[in-house]
């Protein structure tokens, strides 16, 4: 499960009491000192495409996408603004990577 893999990259972990659009909060080890809320739900097949649904009501600070070698972390507020400004219902990950600031964190064997 993506949550179990991603939590290894965090310290000071906490979990939401209610569904607020995020799954885990914490500080990224060796990357940040800011305590952030992350939406780490897995992508799934929607209309024959691999996708991740999101809500504009989400309280997540960052959206996390997992590839085989990287964690891609996107600022949720920046993404919401991009979607509203461009009147989009579907956003493609390759477009986001070109248009928005994204953190790419290489998966590490030893993250401690």
pLDDT one-digit tens code per residue, 59-95? 999 999 888 888 999 999 999 999 899 998 888 888 8
Which tokens belong to 65? 């996408």
Q: Are 26 and 8 in contact (CB under 8 A)?
A: no
**9 vs 51, residue with greater confidence:** 9
Which tokens belong to 54? 């999101």
Q: Are 36 and 62 in contact (CB under 8 A)?
A: yes
How far is the C-alpha of 13 from the C-alpha of 76, rounded, in Å?
19
Band of pLDDT at residue 112, cut at 50, 70 and 90: low
- Check pLDDT > 60 for residue 110: no
Query: What's the pTM?
Result: 0.85
Residue with tokens 């080890």: 29
How far is the C-alpha of 54 from the C-alpha of 34, rounded, in Å?
23
How far is the C-alpha of 102 from the C-alpha of 98, rounded, in Å?
9
Question: What pLDDT digit, counting tens, does each position of 98-108 carry?
Answer: 889 888 888 87
Residues in the chain: 112
């Amino acid at each position: 499960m993506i949550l179990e893999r991603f939590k290894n990259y965090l310290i000071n972990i906490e979990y939401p009491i209610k569904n607020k659009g995020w799954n885990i909060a914490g500080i990224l080890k060796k990357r940040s000192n800011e305590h952030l809320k992350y939406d780490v739900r897995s992508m799934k097949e929607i209309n024959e495409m691999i996708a991740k649904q999101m809500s504009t009501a989400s309280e997540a600070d960052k959206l996390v996408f997992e590839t085989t070698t990287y964690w891609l972390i996107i600022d949720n507020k920046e993404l919401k603004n991009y979607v509203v400004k461009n009147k989009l219902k579907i956003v493609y990950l390759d477009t986001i990577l070109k248009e928005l600031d994204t953190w790419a964190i290489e998966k590490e064997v030893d993250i401690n």
